Structure 1
Amino acid sequence: MNVVSDSLKSGSALADDYINRFSEVQPLYGEDFRDEASWLKRVEWLDQSESVRVNRGELAEVLRRYNSRHNNHQAVHNALDLLAKEGTLAVVGGQQSGLFTGSLLVIYKAMTIIQSAQEAAKKFNRPVVPVFWIAGEDHDFDEVNHTYVMTPELKVAKIKMEAKPGPRSSVSAIPIGPNEWKQSFDQLGRWLPDSENKPEILKWIHEASEQSDNLSDAFAKLLGRLFGEYGLILLDSADPELRKLEVPVFEKMIERNDGLEQAYQQAAACITGKGYSLQAEVAAGGANLFYIYEGNRLLLYKQDGKFTDRKGIVSLSQSELLEQLRTHPERFSNNVLTRPMMQESMFPVLCTVLGQGEISYWAITKQAFEILGLRMPILLPRMSFTLIEGALQKYMDKFGVTFQDVQHRFAEARQQWLSSQEEFHIEPKFAETRRAFEQLYEPLIRELGTIQSGLIPLSEKNKGKILEQISYLERKTREAVEKKHEAELRQWDRIGVSLFPLGKPQERVFNIFYYLNRYGLEWIHDLIRTSDHFTAEHRIIEC
């Protein structure tokens, strides 16, 4: 695989500045991931703050039971043995549990976590374990119930999981039955091109879904299948056993909730004051915690000394909420602004791997860490890749089109190429014809008006029809030219659909199994070896 760096358009001005112009946003974050001193400072803090986190041994045992069910690799158990020992650090990142692992960015995040942990272990000469935090407590099922592959007809096919209607609950609590799994599985089988790898891929996915009652469990099994041998520890944030360990952290969040809210509000004002957009809502009176009531995940607010939801379904005093926490911890859940503090309270986080949207909203949390006696970890941008198949690169070379051309001016470049193939220049020829017609026709209309004024609107209508016919002929001429160059235009279309499907970066759309189907199940390990070091730069990998 050939690897080169090339820029990818950013989705967030704040994250772009964090990655490329850190000095401009340092007050919002604190430590620079490129600064060696920041890493040493972080390690020192972790060694001094063991008491602020949950018990390592208890955490490791909870995670061992979970991973034994979904990610039962010896390398993972070895990593858990290390995590239980004081002095071991962790690189942590997470994502929602997408259908069949979701888009490529999930895979790249896992790769970043693994490689960063390996690099840190060598740098500090001490154990550093990789941890993937599955956000199973999130309740937006429509965000995770689909994925995409490219069909042989160069269409972007959406594979969607239909779930039975029910409460607005966590993804990990939404039951998925055999019929729903079969429907999605059959879609994947239909859209994946036939290959020698396809039967084994479908076997993997069928086994994962057959043994899973929800989307999160299947997601974990597939991630474990791909990365378990690298010692990647998995956790589901909706795991009831994990929730029991989190009770003391939730207690602090409830007892110090006003301070947390004030910290979020101040950070939000600072961010918007610098001209950036907020990537997460900072609502007045927001408790930034969820309470699960009769299966529904309700976002809590503070009103008249009570914790309540927008509809007033629940209303609890602070003491009542704490009592509910101690007796029913499974009813509690973080939102995007308190999850970072929960992660920091659970693991000795050397750094956390984040996408650009996450980097943006983590800026809201810096002061909130301090309210709970914590410190924001180093934020490490997720590695970013675009995969270019060998034939695709040949097409790009043939047409003289670059990655930046495809990213910023693809339609224009395609049209320019097509126009250059014909001596008969369609656009200027037809534009000249329209001008000549109007020059001849306008005087005629005026002369007809001297005969009878009623002839003017008739003439104008007739003019419009003639111009419509000229445009129709122009369209047909374009179609004829495109038909003549059909093979080459299909190659252009393959470039566009492969690199920016649905107008988005490839890593945000396509599923990893499309590429494993094409290149083989071992290809993921080749990809990891090819991207053998961390960099915040976007890289193009020619397969």
Structure 2
Amino acid sequence: MEIKDLVLPSINQFASDYTSGRLKTDNFFHYDLNDEKVYEKRYSELMNRQFYRTELSEAIREFMRPLEINERVHQNIEALKEAGTVAVVGGQQAGLLSGPLYTIHKAISVISLARQQEKALNKKVVPVFWIAGEDHDYQEVNHVYILKNGRPEKTSYPYYSAGKPMVSDIGLDYETAVSWVERIFESYGETDHTNALISGMKEILKNSRNFVDFFARLMHEWFKEYGLLLIDASDIRLRGLESGYFTTMIKKAPEITAAVLEQQEFIASEGYKKAIEMSGNAANLFYYDLTDKERSLLELDGRGGFTAPGQSFTEAELLHIAETGPEALSNNVVTRPLMQESVFPVLAFIAGPGEAAYWAELKKAFELFEMKMPPIVPRLNFTLVERPIAADLDDLGLSLEDVLTGKTDESLQQFIEKIKDENLENLYQHMLESVQKAHADFSSHALTIDAALEPLLKKNQELIQKQLEFIHDKADGANRMKYSIIIRKYERAAASLYPGNSPQERIWNPFYFLNKYPDLVQKLAEKDYEFNNKHKAVYL
């Protein structure tokens, strides 16, 4: 495995300006990643704060207990109880088969930065992955893409719910899930590793009650040797620990909204689009009906109370829920970072491009809670390059940068233009113009005889033109067949590296590659990386 750094433009302007150092950091964040002492400063700040360490450690232990905790994970759980231990945190929704590649990229980033800073600070730093099981956006996690006819095609798990249950409450039917997984692997083609992978998936599915179980078991299998700690945001034990923080968020709900709107106004004045959509009456919390499994966003009613579709609460009623049944509450995009920061001693947060933008809108909200947001560290970005694909690029004279900036289609079109039969094109254009003129002359005379023929003549003209196009396309296709090997190389490169004009990590699932390279995740996780905001090209 060889890894090369590439400099690629970011598709997110804010993220691009942040990683390139063009932002005046103090206006958006509390820590500057270019400060050599940034992690030392953050560590010192954390040492002046109090956390429910033992309760948090035990919540993680209980959540991970069914996963068969190994010694490395056990050590990190125990370490979290100690006052000097801090964490590098990242998170993601519980995608089936782990979701797109960027999920493991984020986990690897968490592990790598924790390992680096443990050495640099000479303090215990544990990696933590926060599973967003409280989310209700099932459509975000219910599918993977497979390659069909040279293009990505979404393949969804067959489940329907009319309501909005949390993902952690969506059950998995073993037979249905196994059938779905086998269909996915069938699309990848059989290798020496396929049967073992499917067998492993069946064993994991046998012990998975829901989406979060399946996700957590996969992540634990891949990353347990690196001590990655897992916790579900909707875990009932964690909810109990969060009770007091929910109380504060309820009391300060109007102030939180005002703080975010004020920061958004500033960010807009700096020329950036807002990342969080919210109104002036946002409460930034969800109410979860534990009976109907329905998650509803709360809003301020303007009279000191809270409303959700078909329900209303006084502040006192909501505070009572926070105290006696916090599992009926959950965070949204605004309050989840506040909750995470309250619960964990976060040395750094690993963020995707979109996450960095919305964290910047929370600066004043953090200050409202008399907290600093942690250093926001852009996650590592990888593109996996198989050797046959690398050979195709060499044959085509394409650079990896060309492909990853969407220039493959342009190059292919230029090649197709170059191989066109010039005589065929000229003769086709001449024939088309001649037939059009002859038909126009004929139609003009025919209409003097019978004006009612006009619709029929137009339809006749369209049919003739379609037949000419059909013959031309057949001839042109036969000419292209002479160059089909080259054309397929363009198509293979695009499908593998920039499928559907999207980054590879947003489309392909890890098992697309694990089917050929079963130790891929471990090889990626064991390496040390420089967090230099450069794209990592991994040659397999």
Q: TM-score, normalised by structure 1?
A: 0.91
The structure 1 residue matched to 2:410, chosen from 378, 396, 412, is 412
Deviation for aligned residue 1:91: 0.3
Q: Is the 8 A contact 1:71 1:221 kept in 2?
A: no
* Greater CA drift, 165-174 or 422-431: 422-431
The structure 2 residue matched to 1:284, chosen from 277, 280, 286, is 280
Deviation for aligned residue 1:126: 1.0
SS in 2 for 1:246: helix
Q: Is the 8 A contact 1:159 1:187 kept in 2?
A: no
Paired with 1:513 and 1:434, the residues of 2 have a C-alpha distance of 50
Deviation for aligned residue 1:113: 0.2
* Greater CA drift, 122-131 or 154-163: 154-163
> Quick one: which amino acid aligns to residue 255 of structure 1?
K
SS in 2 for 1:519: coil
> Quick one: which amino acid aligns to residue 321 of structure 2?
Q
Paired with 1:156 and 1:339, the residues of 2 have a C-alpha distance of 33
SS in 2 for 1:298: strand
Paired with 2:448 and 2:250, the residues of 1 have a C-alpha distance of 87
* Greater CA drift, 475-484 or 413-422: 413-422
Q: What's the CA shift string for 1:396-442, capped at 9, x where partnerless?
A: 1111122343333322311322343455465566446546766x759
The structure 2 residue matched to 1:258, chosen from 254, 257, 261, is 254
SS in 1 for 2:288: strand
Paired with 2:439 and 2:146, the residues of 1 have a C-alpha distance of 54
- Corresponding residue of 2:340: 343
- Corresponding residue of 2:219: 223
- Corresponding residue of 1:162: 158
Q: What's the CA shift string for 1:212-258, capped at 9, x where partnerless?
A: 11100110000000001100000000100110001111111112222
Backbone CA RMSD of aligned residues: 2.6
Deviation for aligned residue 1:315: 1.4
The structure 1 residue matched to 2:373, chosen from 373, 376, 392, is 376
- Corresponding residue of 1:6: 6
Paired with 1:92 and 1:233, the residues of 2 have a C-alpha distance of 9
Paired with 1:527 and 1:270, the residues of 2 have a C-alpha distance of 40
Q: Structure 1 pair 469/353, CA: closer, same or farther in 2 (3 Å)?
A: same
The structure 2 residue matched to 1:134, chosen from 131, 135, 156, is 131
- Corresponding residue of 1:507: 505
The structure 2 residue matched to 1:479, chosen from 474, 477, 480, is 477
> Quick one: which amino acid aligns to residue 29 of structure 2?
Y
The structure 2 residue matched to 1:176, chosen from 151, 172, 177, is 172
- Corresponding residue of 2:29: 29
Q: Unaligned stretches of 5+ in structure 1?
A: none
- Corresponding residue of 1:121: 118
> Quick one: which amino acid aligns to residue 531 of structure 2?
F
Q: Is the 8 A contact 2:128 2:228 kept in 1?
A: yes
The structure 2 residue matched to 1:194, chosen from 171, 181, 190, is 190
SS in 2 for 1:85: coil
Deviation for aligned residue 1:146: 0.9
Q: What's the CA shift string for 1:363-389, capped at 9, x where partnerless?
A: 121111111121111001011111111
- Corresponding residue of 2:17: 17
The structure 1 residue matched to 2:271, chosen from 271, 275, 278, is 275
Paired with 1:432 and 1:37, the residues of 2 have a C-alpha distance of 72
1:93-108 residue pairs with structure 2 within 5 A? 93-108=90-105
Paired with 1:432 and 1:454, the residues of 2 have a C-alpha distance of 29
Q: Structure 1 pair 270/444, CA: closer, same or farther in 2 (3 Å)?
A: same
1:438-517 residue pairs with structure 2 within 5 A? 467-517=465-515
The structure 1 residue matched to 2:362, chosen from 360, 365, 375, is 365
Paired with 2:320 and 2:134, the residues of 1 have a C-alpha distance of 21
> Quick one: which amino acid aligns to residue 201 of structure 2?
I
Q: What's the CA shift string for 1:90-141, capped at 9, x where partnerless?
A: 1000000000100000000000000000111111111111000000000111
Q: What's the CA shift string for 1:122-172, capped at 9, x where partnerless?
A: 111111110000000001111101112336x64434332223536411100
SS in 2 for 1:137: coil
Paired with 1:451 and 1:132, the residues of 2 have a C-alpha distance of 79
Deviation for aligned residue 1:193: 1.2
- Corresponding residue of 2:108: 111
Q: TM-score, normalised by structure 2?
A: 0.92
- Corresponding residue of 2:351: 354
> Quick one: which amino acid aligns to residue 13 of structure 2?
A
1:40 equivalenced with 2:37 (yes/no): no
SS in 1 for 2:533: coil
Deviation for aligned residue 1:284: 1.3
Q: Structure 1 pair 425/267, CA: closer, same or farther in 2 (3 Å)?
A: farther
Q: Structure 1 pair 369/486, CA: closer, same or farther in 2 (3 Å)?
A: same
Paired with 2:494 and 2:100, the residues of 1 have a C-alpha distance of 18
Deviation for aligned residue 1:495: 1.0
Which runs of structure 1 show a deviation greater than 6 angstroms over 4 or more consecutive aligned residues?
449-463
Q: Structure 1 pair 111/48, CA: closer, same or farther in 2 (3 Å)?
A: same
> Quick one: which amino acid aligns to residue 270 of structure 1?
F
Q: Between Structure 1 and Structure 2, how many residues are aligned?
A: 536
> Quick one: which amino acid aligns to residue 495 of structure 1?
A
Paired with 1:274 and 1:181, the residues of 2 have a C-alpha distance of 48
Deviation for aligned residue 1:449: 9.8
Q: Is the 8 A contact 2:408 2:490 kept in 1?
A: no
Paired with 1:248 and 1:444, the residues of 2 have a C-alpha distance of 85
Q: Is the 8 A contact 2:96 2:211 kept in 1?
A: yes
Q: Is the 8 A contact 1:300 1:308 kept in 2?
A: yes
Deviation for aligned residue 1:190: 2.5
Deviation for aligned residue 1:348: 1.0
Paired with 1:106 and 1:461, the residues of 2 have a C-alpha distance of 54
Q: Percent identity?
A: 32
Paired with 1:493 and 1:351, the residues of 2 have a C-alpha distance of 40
1:425-440 residue pairs with structure 2 within 5 A? 427=425, 430-431=428-429, 434=432
Deviation for aligned residue 1:24: 4.6
Deviation for aligned residue 1:452: 7.6
SS in 2 for 1:175: coil
- Corresponding residue of 1:241: 237
Paired with 1:446 and 1:197, the residues of 2 have a C-alpha distance of 67
1:90 equivalenced with 2:53 (yes/no): no
Q: Structure 1 pair 304/156, CA: closer, same or farther in 2 (3 Å)?
A: closer
Q: Unaligned stretches of 5+ in structure 2?
A: none
Paired with 1:427 and 1:505, the residues of 2 have a C-alpha distance of 36
Paired with 2:444 and 2:373, the residues of 1 have a C-alpha distance of 80
